[in-house]
Structure 1
Amino acid sequence: MTRVYYREAVGALVVFDMTRLSTFQAVLKWKGDLDSKVALSNGRPVPAVLLANKCDQRQHGLCPKLPKMENFSREYGFVGWFETSAKDNTNIDAAITCLVKNILSVEEERALSEATSKNEPEGSVLVLPRFDYNVKEKGLGGCSGCSGHKSRDGDND
């Protein structure tokens, strides 16, 4: 992928299809690409969570062929991994929560480091950068599935 897709990223999900070995074999390529094109301000890689998708199709999957995923994910720098099913919504919330907690932890570390260097008292308020979700960037052709999505209670997200 080109650097424009990674610009200002603070975290990532790397997803492979449990029913297709070729997608698992590409995980290290994708993680290497991610790590080579984006890093945190301190030089460390952005937090990345590995998702083994289509766990609802386990009978057709690679389960016996997969390495011990806990060790694999740790060894290759993922902050966690989850068996997921986008179809059944299995572990999607848990995976996103894991990623967001890691992103916030990194931001808190950065803020504390800055506060320490500025001699600010510990426990200061963490101010996250402002982002306008209503502005669409041109040329990024990403998923538009979130725009206009209705939540369960009928409000727009």
Structure 2
Amino acid sequence: MRIPDEMLKKYLKFHKKIPSATGKTSIIQKYVNGLFSRSYKVTIGVDFALKLMPIDEKTNVRIQFWDIAGQERYGNMTRVFYKEAMGALLVFDVTRLNTFDAVKFWKKDIDQKVFTDKKKPIPTVLLANKIDLIEQDDENWISFREKMDNYCKEKGFIKWFETSAKEDVNLHSATKFLVKYILKNNIKPYKDEEDEQSIKLKEETEEMERNESNNNSGGCC
């Protein structure tokens, strides 16, 4: 089900100052380090972050975040960045229409370039970020929220969350939901035959180099 543009334009304020910044870097920094800043620079290429998440009393999961640039001009790089990912958080800014329009582009990009070991799209959660800037009793926002479940089902998202990096809203809930989904469904990264052949060739080459080094290390007669 498509959300009508005229409805979106009523409550999504379209700004052109920072065309791709949705707050994903702020989300990661707040979740990982407990820090929030309004002065993060636009991500160039990709950044990394690590977080240890307790799932229960016996289980801890180490999460590696890849903070990928949201500009479409980086789309030709994403196949490398997505490699062996087991889940994704896709972020849009609820105050800017162009970032919601970009959701379709990035979801398609993810679905076409990264898969689970069962050759299915990796689970993706949609984050409607900066809800601290939205009046929760606004009728247009309420109408939008009511349609989001169907939108996510149609586009293949496993769930969506309203989030705020500034107010620390649903950052832990969204991430934990995705991680638990991955664990529950035993999702593993896809490795194609080419990857396996490359690994095998690398191992064989290293073995040959070790053998050659051993043969050349004999004493002189």
Structure 2 length as normaliser, TM-score?
A: 0.46
Q: Is 1:103 equivalent to 2:179 in the alignment?
A: no
Structure with the largest fraction of strand: 2
Give the secondary-structure state (helix, strand or coil) at the position aligned to 1:107.
Answer: coil
- Residue equivalent to 1:63: 141
Q: What amino acid is the match of 2:141?
A: C
Distance 1:102 1:77 in 2: 14
Distance 2:175 2:150 in 1: 20
Which entry has the higher C-alpha Rg, 1 or 2? 2
| Greater relative contact order, per chain length (Cα 8 Å cut-off, separation 6+) | 2
Q: What amino acid is the match of 2:129?
A: N
Structure 1 consecutive aligned stretches of length 4 or more whose deviation exceeds 6 Å: none
Structure 1 length as normaliser, TM-score?
A: 0.64
Cα RMSD (Å): 2.2
Match for residue 89 of structure 1 among 159, 168, 171: 168
Q: Is 1:15 equivalent to 2:91 in the alignment?
A: yes
- Residue equivalent to 2:159: 80
Q: What amino acid is the match of 1:77?
A: G
Q: How does 1:120-139 map to 2 (within 5 A)?
A: none
The Cα of 1:24 is off from its aligned counterpart by 0.5
Give the secondary-structure state (helix, strand or coil) at the position aligned to 2:126.
Answer: strand
Q: What amino acid is the match of 1:4?
A: V
Distance 2:126 2:154 in 1: 12
Structure with the largest fraction of helix: 2
The Cα of 1:18 is off from its aligned counterpart by 0.2
Structure 1 gaps of 5+ residues are 111-157
Distance 1:56 1:25 in 2: 21
Deviation readout 1:84-122 (Å, 9 max, x if unpaired)? 0011110111100110011112217x7xxxxxxxxxxxx
Q: Sequence identity, in percent?
A: 49
Distance 1:106 1:37 in 2: 20
Deviation readout 1:23-75 (Å, 9 max, x if unpaired)? 0111011100000000111111101000000010004x972674711111111
Q: What amino acid is the match of 1:27?
A: V
Q: What amino acid is the match of 1:74?
A: K
Structure 2 gaps of 5+ residues are 1-74, 189-221
